[in-house]
């Protein structure tokens, strides 16, 4: 009988299997490394793209913050201008107030029946002292002032009879107080704000 020694064949087969397993392992390792490098490059590109977007967004935010600061400064200046306009309108109305007061008192005076002796105008309060022929004349004057749209809170401060000996007259010396109604300012700037 012939004996065949299969041991070297088995050993060669074993070596071949080990070589194949090492080759597969090395190829797998190379493939995993290549995939890791590709993924790393892809992620680096995404990161670079996101960094560019972040930088662009930060630049836009800085630009818009600068614009917002300019807008806030313009709004402050506009508010100051509006206050100045209100002050100018108030001054303009107050500039004409003494003339209007004298004109209105001339219109409200009961002609040939009363005379003013003193007029005090402080802030919005007006105090008039005068002489009238009788109580009815003082009442008529107070009614006229009350009905006039520029004045309010008409009150009789005092009234007393006074005799003028040289003329042989009994006249009424009176004092009346009232307040000037609040002026209505031009609201065109407020209307423009509402439109915005």
CATH code assigned at 151: 3.30.1360
Domain, as residue range, for 75 = 54-95
Give pLDDT, residue 149: 86
Residue 84 placed within a domain: yes
Report the candidate in 112, 117, 119, 160 with the shortest Cα–Cα distance to residue 140.
112
Residue 191 placed within a domain: no
| Same domain for 147 and 119 | yes
The residue to which tokens 């793209």 are assigned: 49
| Same domain for 166 and 134 | yes
| Same domain for 127 and 83 | no
Q: Give DSSP secondary structure letters for the chain.
A: ------HHHHHHHHHHHHHHHHHHHHHHHHHHHHHHHHHHHHHHHHHHHHHHHHHHHHHHHHHHHHHHHHHHHHHHHHHHHHHHHHHHHHHHHHHSHHHHHHHHHHHHS-TTTEEEEEEEEETTEEEEEEEESSHHHHHHHHHHHHHSTTEEEEEEEEEEEEEETTTTEEEEEEEEEEEEPPPPPP-HHHHHHHH-
| Same domain for 117 and 173 | yes
| Same domain for 160 and 126 | yes
For the chain, the domain total comes to 2
The whole-model pTM stands at 0.49
Give pLDDT, residue 122: 84
Residue 38 placed within a domain: no
Residue 80 placed within a domain: yes
Residue 25 placed within a domain: no
The residues pairing with 169 across neighbouring beta strands, listed in sequence order, are 164
- Nearest 5 degrees, angle CA 98-CA 96-CA 176? 30
Q: Is 128 exposed, middle or buried (0-12, 13-18, 19+ CB in 10 A)?
A: buried
Residue 100 placed within a domain: no
| Same domain for 176 and 116 | yes
Give pLDDT, residue 46: 95
Residue 82 placed within a domain: yes
Q: For the chain, 196 residues long, give each residue's pLDDT as a single digit of tens.
A: 666 655 666 777 888 889 999 999 999 999 999 999 999 999 999 999 999 999 999 999 999 999 999 999 999 999 999 999 999 988 887 777 778 888 888 888 888 889 899 998 887 888 999 999 889 999 999 999 899 888 888 999 999 988 877 777 788 899 999 988 776 555 554 555 555 5
Q: Is 152 exposed, middle or buried (0-12, 13-18, 19+ CB in 10 A)?
A: middle
Residue 186 placed within a domain: no
Tokens of 125: 């309060």
Report the candidate in 127, 130, 172, 133 with the shortest Cα–Cα distance to residue 154.
127
């Amino acid at each position: 009988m012939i004996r065949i020694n299969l041991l070297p064949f088995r050993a060669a087969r074993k070596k071949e299997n080990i070589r194949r397993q090492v080759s597969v392992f090395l190829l797998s390792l190379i493939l995993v490394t290549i995939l890791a490098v590709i993924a790393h490059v892809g992620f680096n590109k995404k990161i670079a793209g996101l960094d560019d977007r972040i930088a662009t967004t930060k630049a836009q935010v800085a630009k818009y913050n600068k614009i917002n600061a300019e807008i806030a400064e313009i709004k402050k200046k506009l508010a100051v201008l509006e206050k100045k306009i209100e002050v100018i309108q108030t001054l303009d109305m107050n500039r004409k107030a003494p003339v209007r007061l004298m004109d209105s008192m001339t219109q409200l005076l009961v002609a040939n029946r009363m005379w003013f002796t003193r007029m005090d105008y402080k802030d919005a309060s007006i105090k008039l002292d005068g002489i009238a022929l009788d109580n009815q004349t003082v009442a008529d004057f107070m009614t006229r002032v009350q009905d006039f749209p520029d004045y309010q809170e008409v009150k009789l401060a005092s009234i007393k009879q006074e005799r003028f000996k040289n003329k042989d007259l009994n006249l009424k010396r009176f004092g009346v107080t009232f307040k000037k109604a609040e002026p209505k300012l031009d609201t065109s700037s407020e209307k423009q704000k509402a439109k915005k």
